[in-house]
Amino acid sequence: MTDLFSPFQLGSLTLPNRVVMAPMTRNFSPNNIPGDNVVEYYRKRAQGGTGLIITEGTCPGHKAASGYPDVPFIAGEEQLAGWKQVVEAVHAEGGKIAPQLWHVGAFRKPGIEPGGDLPGYSPSGTLIPGKVVGHAMTLEDIEECQQAFIQAAVDAEKLGFDAIEIHGAHGYLLDGFFWEGTNQRDDHYGGSVENRVRFACEIIAGIRERVSADLPIILRYSQWKQQDFSARLAQTPAELEEFLTPLSEAGVDIFHCSTRRFWEPEFEGSDLNLAGWTKKLIGKPTITVGSVSLDADFIPEPGEQLFKSGQIASLDGLLERLGNDEFDLVAVGRALIANPDWAEKVHAHQHSQLQAYEKEMLMQLS
């Protein structure tokens, strides 16, 4: 437990502990503006002892960025003013916060506002390999989208955010470029690994150039996709290193390694999970995530849309891995929805007082 509640420092970011709130889409921001309920939601997690809050995905100002109703944007006067209130509330409780910059890519369906009838934008117009369902991005589209990400990061720093996270996981836009299955381009953004990471690297480098040198940039990435849980960007550690190295060199400071179950090994012959391998190969801090404190992953039951329920589970395996320096930070998701004071309770050895997560909790913001 001492390791989980030891301080962490990187650049301008200083945390009192290693507990991170994982980003989770909540759909409670009408007109894409985070309101008082969103302010209170994040304030309570900071008050409860969470070291770093990573917000729900918030869209940059690109015309096709959003794919779901009532998600917040980090572009526009009212939207930025709403996020400023969130930042100030978190800071007043002594917490730190980073926005997750999120473009849904091919998951967008026409009719979602803002954006109207625009289809999903992706590298090759595909959501699943071989099936065109949306718009294949032109070079002009790519430039426009990259600038939206960069501007969102610049605006976020002006609002007082303590770090920036870029969503490059789960099949969304950046991951659509990473994954060969959905990136069938024949220009310098497709083909080789070097080309497939170029879109993200240019965003990262552009942000690094425009924000303070000591403001940490976090990249969330995953092997699995919502379209295909078995998909993998890398089959071996060597392939993973080839994928991660240019992203690291572009300016990523922390890798947020998204898995559904943190305890599962990433490659045969080693117990290291994805965060463990990333830290071993690249040497930069990593965040582990995936069913922390719960006994079931979040994937909904067949026919359901809400995150799966989960009972409180032991932290022994997690603490052992953290103590072995396999990763640096631990992202907690559903358990923090059920327990805004999860960090305080765990620190006080009040594990038995933690509430289980029930899927219906996702229907309210509290």
How far apart, in whole angstroms, are the C-alpha atoms of residue 290 and residue 229?
Answer: 14
What letter does residue 74 receive in the DSSP assignment?
A: S
Burial of 166 (0-12, 13-18, 19+ CB in 10 A): buried
What is the SS3 assignment for 6?
coil
Residue 172 known to be catalytic: yes
Cβ-contact 175, 169 below 8 angstroms = yes
What letter does residue 54 receive in the DSSP assignment?
A: E
Active-site residue identified among 41, 42, 121, 172: 172
Q: 114: cis peptide before it, omega within 30°?
A: yes
Structure tokens at 19: 């507990």
> In terms of DSSP H, where are the helices of the chain?
36-47, 77-92, 139-159, 173-178, 193-196, 198-210, 237-250, 274-282, 316-323, 334-338, 342-347
Structure tokens at 53: 């809050």
Cβ within 8 Å of residue 173, ≥6 positions away: 103, 104, 105, 106, 121, 122, 145
How far apart, in whole angstroms, are the C-alpha atoms of residue 165 and residue 176?
Answer: 17
**What amino acid positions are annotated as catalytic residues?**
172
